Amino acid sequence: MPMRLHDTLTRRLRMVAPLEEGHVRLYTCGPTVYARAHVGNFRTFLFEDILRRWLERRFARVTHVMNLTDVDDKIIRQAAAAGHGLHAETAPFIDAFYEDLRTLNIRPAQHFPRATEYIEEMVALIERLEEAGVAYRSAGSVYYRVAGFPHYGRLSGARAEGLVAGAGGRVDADEYDKEDVRDFALWKAVGADEIGWDTRLGRGRPGWHIECSAMSMALLGESFDLHCGGVDNIFPHHENEIAQSEAATGRQFVQIWCHSAHLRIGGEKMAKSMDNFATVPDLVASGARPSALRYMLAAAAHYRKPVNYSDESLHAATESVDRLADFDARVRGYPPRAGENEARVERIAEARSEFGAAMDDDLNLPGAMGTVFSLIRVLNRELDDGELDSASYSALVGFLDEVDDVLGVMELVANERTGNSLSEEDRALLDLRRVARERREWSESDHLREVLADRGIVVEDTGEGQRWRRL
């Protein structure tokens, strides 16, 4: 079965068929680095990570580009208020973003282009738009003429005559010299004492939308396979990217557009503007395990459906992760016996096929994990009655490895269970209990188990030694 994804532009499932055989080119909109990204942003970044991981299993090569928007009105205002340049303003937030990617085990893109590094490419693209007659200059700035692109509005489904530039939340107070309220800035004129660049267009800085068009085409070509982001990117950002790119090149910009739904809290979209957000370090500091956060954001609901953040949803994700990790440890913890249980091997093969079919069907990770947990339920009962045969063991370990190559939680669990998220006192108690068991001091071992349980740490004894998890 070929892999299919829901295309926002055509409103239907479309087969992923790379323009270059075997090579998928993927562009995802990264953060605007005026502050630390919040966990709602990571709902989108994790959807994109799961997509990237599955593409890498399905195709020989994937090139992933994620931009960093390191210049916009807010960043410039903050830099000016602090009395330093753009780099000094954005560097801490870029470092924090990379740290959060590592915390959630998100694979880094092959390219993280920064807007400030692609000014020449943006200027050249704007010049092409002027030559095409869809850009005009006014009071030193350059604007895109929406009326010059007949297909404007196809992505968002809104009629062009009813649209207003900036309606997505980034209204520019300096845009008073446009021909039409729908037009948007490609290049913004700035004064000699303001942050900007001296270019063939005059002194200024880029508009928000031109950045992604220029960077994606520079690194992936004028037409590429997949472009992703959150649903809030559909209008105006991605709508404007299409208009700019296709007016300049005369070619289809992107083959398939994919958008993830919001993370909600208390039924409302999580957003800095609503002051109802939390960062990844905030949640980890409050006791959330990175493995559970990753699972909740990626697998609690299909990527096109909202996820509601709550203590209950995080607890459910924690239980799911522990169930998977405990089963994985159980399987690997005991050597298999010789032989082959053909029915069991076939059952594992069927589950593996169902997992792949769910992932190929618009990246249905919740459905895929339902298949995994159904298999775990059956095999746990069988393991209670005896060891795995070697053929089943080999098939099952291969399947579990494939699942986690996509899900990406086992490395996080390993870090959590080996002490990376424990206090010094917690680690000392676990060490004392390990020594007590080695000395066969069972009463002391049981006492320390109770002490750790009071501290919110459950300890289990396995063939590979003691394992722990938080309640």
41 with 65, same domain: the answer is: yes
Does any domain span residue 280?
A: no
Domain end (from 373, 393, 415) = 415
375 with 238, same domain: the answer is: no
Domain end (from 368, 385, 415) = 415
Residue 165 has pLDDT above 70, yes or no: no
pLDDT tens sequence across 362-389: 999 999 999 999 999 999 999 888 889 9
362 with 262, same domain: the answer is: no
Cβ neighbours of residue 144 closer than 8 Å, sequence gap 6 or more = 129, 134, 135, 183, 184, 185, 186, 240, 243, 244
Segment 276-302 shows an average pLDDT of 93
Does any domain span residue 464?
A: yes
Give CA–CA dist 322/27, Å, rounded.
Answer: 33
* pLDDT score at 465: 66
Q: What is the CATH number of the domain that holds 182?
A: 3.40.50.620
Give CA–CA dist 68/87, Å, rounded.
Answer: 12
Q: Shortest CA distance to 463 belongs to which of 336, 332, 337?
A: 332
Does any domain span residue 261?
A: yes
85 with 117, same domain: the answer is: yes
pLDDT tens sequence across 236-252: 999 999 999 999 999 99
**Looking at per-residue confidence, does 427 or 307 come out higher?**
307
Does any domain span residue 299?
A: no
- 3-state SS of the chain is CCCEEEECCCCEEEECCCCECCEEEEEECCCECCCCCEHHHHHHHHHHHHHHHHHHHHCCEEEEEECEECCCHHHHHHHHHHCCCHHHHHHHHHHHHHHHHHHCCCCCCCECCEHHHCHHHHHHHHHHHHHCCCEEEECCEEEECHHHCCCCCCCCCCCHHHCCCCCCCCCCCCCCCCCCCCCEEEEEECCCCCCCEEECCEEEEECHHHHHHHHHHHHHCCCEEEEEEEHHHHHHHHHHHHHHHHHHHCCCCEEEEEEECCEEECCEECCHHHCCCCEHHHHHHCCCCHHHHHHHHHHCCCCCCCEEECHHHHHHHHHHHHHHHHHHHHHHHCCCECCCCHHHHHHHHHHHHHHHHHHHECCCHHHHHHHHHHHHHHHHHHHHCCCCEHHHHHHHHHHHHHHHHHHCCHHHHHHHHCCCCCCHHHHHHHHHHHHHHHCCCHHHHHHHHHHHHHCCEEEEEECCEEEEEEC
Does any domain span residue 62?
A: yes
**Token pair recorded at residue 22:** 């075997």
Does any domain span residue 402?
A: yes
pTM of the model: 0.86
189 with 269, same domain: the answer is: yes
**Which residue range is the domain that position 451 belongs to?**
422-470
147 with 248, same domain: the answer is: yes
* pLDDT score at 400: 97
Least confident of 56-60, 214-218, 300-304, 444-448: 444-448
* pLDDT score at 169: 42
pLDDT tens sequence across 454-466: 888 888 776 546 7
Burial classification of residue 222, based on how many CB atoms lie within 10 Å of its CB (0-12 exposed, 13-18 middle, 19 or more buried): middle
171 with 242, same domain: the answer is: yes
94 with 126, same domain: the answer is: yes
* pLDDT score at 420: 55
Residue 407 has pLDDT above 60, yes or no: yes
Residue 453 has pLDDT above 90, yes or no: no
Confidence band for 272, pLDDT divided at 50, 70 and 90: low
* pLDDT score at 168: 42
Give the distance from CA 267 to its chain's centroid: 21
* pLDDT score at 438: 72
* pLDDT score at 167: 46
Give CA–CA dist 119/287, Å, rounded.
Answer: 42
* pLDDT score at 175: 46
Count: domains in the chain: 3
Confidence band for 417, pLDDT divided at 50, 70 and 90: confident
Confidence band for 422, pLDDT divided at 50, 70 and 90: low
Segment 94-122 shows an average pLDDT of 97
Q: Shortest CA distance to 195 belongs to which of 186, 204, 187?
A: 204
| Average pLDDT, rounded, for the chain | 91
pLDDT tens sequence across 290-304: 999 999 999 999 999
pLDDT tens sequence across 75-88: 999 999 999 999 99
**Looking at per-residue confidence, does 134 or 166 come out higher?**
134
353 with 270, same domain: the answer is: no
Segment 256-260 shows an average pLDDT of 98
85 with 223, same domain: the answer is: yes
